[in-house]
Amino acid sequence: MTFEIEVNGRTRRVSVERAGTEPGQFLVGVDGTTKVVDARRVGEFGISLLFPGDAHAGTAIDLAPGSAPGEVLAHLAGRTIRIVVNGRRAARRGADTSGTAHGEQKVTAPMPGRVVRVLVAQGEGVAARQPVVVVEAMKMENELRSPKAGRVKDVAVEAGTSVEAGRVLIVIE
């Protein structure tokens, strides 16, 4: 069985099959390189991996569901990593992705708050991760960034506006 798995923005092809009849033994291929993996579920979110072929190296990863279909938040030694399983397929199935299909991306309010400053104007070019709008929420001013390099197609709010979660603030094309 093969999956397309995006880890930290990089997409890998992962194939999984059982290794013989031994319990918990798998052959897992990542982009064509296959290893024997000794895997065990621990609790609702935990997975313990051992690699008998790599001097018995081991790791423990917890996987909790994320907010989007196919999205998983993984916990590994203090870090939280976004993983998307079969993201392209999920996106194809999804309904709210028409904008993405046209290369358009929206900067939306992640939570209720108040727009403090708009940092770009319509038509302006922006770099990926460039701050485009500042929203105050949860006692902090938060810079929202452009998801990609492009041009500001629309500025849908002005400073001082109170916004609900999900409200479109800026559209980048």
Partner 1 sequence: MKILIANRGEIAVRIIRACREMGLPTVAVYSDCDRGARHVRDADQAVHIGPSPPSQSYLRIDRLLDAARATGADAVHPGYGFLAENAAFARACRDAGLTFIGPSPDAIEKMGSKTGARAIATRAGVPVVPGTDEPFAAAATDRQIVDAATRVGYPLLVKAVAGGGGKGMRAVETPDSLLNAVRTARSEAGSAFGDTAVYFERRLIRPRHIEIQLLGDCHGTIVPFVERECSIQRRHQKVVEESPSLAVTPALRGRIAAAAQSVAKAAGYTSAGTIEFLLDEDGSFYFLEMNTRLQVEHPVTEMVTSIDLVHWQIRIAQGERLSIDPERALAPHGHAIECRIYAEDPDQGFMPSPGLIRGVRAASGPGIRNDGGVVAGYTVPVFYDSMIAKLIAWAESRGAALARMERALREYEVLGIRTTIPFFLWLMREPDFVDGRFDTTYLDQVLASRRGDSFMTLTEPEETELAIAAGLDAWWRATSGAASSSRASGSAWKSAARQDALRG
State which residue, 46 or 123, has the beta carbon closest to partner 1: 46
Q: State the minimum distance, in angstroms, from the CB of residue 87 to partner 1.
A: 11
Stretch that binds partner 1, among 45-53, 99-107, 118-126, 148-156 (CB under 8 A): 45-53
| Window 108-167: residues binding partner 1 (CB under 8 A) | 110-113, 129, 131, 137-145, 165
State which residue, 84 or 155, has the beta carbon closest to partner 1: 84
Stretch that binds partner 1, among 8-16, 99-107, 118-126, 149-157 (CB under 8 A): 8-16
Q: Contact at 8 Å (CB) between 116 and 134?
A: yes
Residue 119: which of 46, 110, 111, 129 has the closest Cα? 129
State which residue, 123 or 127, has the beta carbon closest to partner 1: 127
Q: How many other CB atoms sit within 10 Å of the CB of residue 131? A: 14
Q: State the minimum distance, in angstroms, from the CB of residue 167 to partner 1.
A: 13
Residue 122: which of 58, 49, 173, 59 has the closest Cα? 173
State which residue, 37 or 155, has the beta carbon closest to partner 1: 37
By CB under 8 A, name the one of 19, 36, 47, 168 that touches partner 1.
Answer: 47
Is residue 42 part of the contact set for partner 1 (CB under 8 A)? yes
User: Can you list the alpha helix ranges (DSSP code H) found in the chain?
Assistant: 87-93, 98-101
Residues belonging to the chain: 173
Residue 113: which of 146, 88, 139, 147 has the closest Cα? 139
Q: Contact at 8 Å (CB) between 133 and 172?
A: no
